[in-house]
Structure 1
Amino acid sequence: MTRRLAAVLAAAACAGTLATSTAQAAAVPPEAPDHGRAGAPHQRRAGVDFTGIVALGNCSGSLVRGPRSRDTDAALVLTNGHCLESGMPAPGRVIVDRASSRTFTLLDRTGGSDLGTLRATRIEYATMTDTDVTVYRLDATYAAIRRRYGVSALRLSTARPHDGTEIRVVSGYWRKIYGCRIDATVYRLREAGWTWRDSLRYTPRCETVHGTSGSPVIDVRTRQVVGVNNTGNDDGERCTLDNPCEVDRGGRITVRRGVHYGQQTYLLARCLGEGGDVVLRGTCALPKP
């Protein structure tokens, strides 16, 4: 899982790994020029920048809202389940309505400046089962954040993204935007003890690195969030930690070294009710406690 920044920092003290990761993050692929520079030509054309993007201490995230949200609702922040401050949830575990005071750094549209600090009041929902997601509820409304910072939240799409969709993976931690397409939808993605359903495999240009976990995957055409970035195969190992493997409907396993993945978020969007609550009853297909 590309959250593994803590491990990277520890290794950096001895072997300079952090410098390597920083250099990787600064090397922007040709398909996605540096959107940290205001006015970059591709930025204007694609319409995707750092608006609504936040940085965590060890991950990335985004300010999001569902299809039924109102400006007066408490705002939500989306990141990965494995980015929880309490550690990675065990397989099968679902966390709901737990108090939290976690803080997030809100970026300006260029990614070059910090606008301020947002604070959570609770974990609305978190799991690493079937998907890899955490939703935090903040102590400020969407309207209050827009008044104070001039920032609107990103919309969560309720539709499945199609293979071939042009996307941007926007990292608040590294302040970098990766540009590529959805290569394919993977039936099952397995990493250590966790299994995720219908994962998004990226084309090679999205070479996400440590610290990009939790970044929103944004559909360039609609500018809506269709996924959340969560992992990549580092070493070519088979189904181990930091080395996810693909499993097809027949149980056949495929390993793709250097390939990166995200988790779809349309199920989350469909489960967000009035007030931004994650409503797990009824037709909601998210894992339940």
Structure 2
Amino acid sequence: MIDFTSQTPSHTKVHGRHGDYAIEAKGLIKRFKSGKSFVEVLKGVDFDARHGDLTMVMGPSGSGKSTLIAALSGLLRPEEGRVDALDVDDLWKLSLGKIDKFRLDHCGFIFQGFNLFPALTALQQVEIVLKFQGLSPERAKKRATEALTEVGLAHRLHQRPAILSGGEKQRVAIARALAKDPKILFADEPTSALDGENGQVVIRLLRRAATEHGAAVICVTHDPRLEAWADRVIKIEDGVIVSDERHTPNPDATLASHH
């Protein structure tokens, strides 16, 4: 059983230029064209997330939560506002190549659709990202094996996605994200395709990434069952943050199935 009672990461926190904050955004505005007019999806949002925290961003469908993650992570340029991440002042002032490099070096991503390559084994899915980062094949294999073992897939290293269950696929995606030891981990609806038992495994792993790895974990979800694991719950509606509360995470919470 994993011990989630300790609220401080076992290693020292990374202090960037912005203190305990891994990421800080001010005044984010994002508009999308709709017919002849524009719809404002983010309306001047301020946001921050700390190292070692699991921060939940919750809201109904269409509230702007996925757009917020995309703007924070350098995937979608906002019309206005700035994002300071780690020791980078204003991510969006960098060239696209440098933003890509920042994401590769410092960020992990977990999506509800898993985003796995059908032809690659679980081990290869994780190795490929590490090789992009410049690790030798031997080191990439060792670290990929460790990451998959950490998520409970030591017995599935050489299986391709077609043979894996939904929960196992999501764990491969988490291993791929954690193997890089990211400072910031973004998760977009990571449990929505999973039953209660697999969802529980996933949220425990995200909790562990914050507590044990010291990552700033930012999880977008509309699943209220996940709140119990969070250090902080931010609610967004219609492009505006409507509440922001700190919690004491409950390591013994269980995720009853949706069904």
TM range (shorter): under 0.3
Instruction: Select the structure that is richer in helix.
Output: 2
TM-score by length of 1: 0.26
Q: Please, what TM-score do these two structures have when normalized by structure 2?
A: 0.28
Greater RCO structure (CA 8 Å; 6+ sep):
2
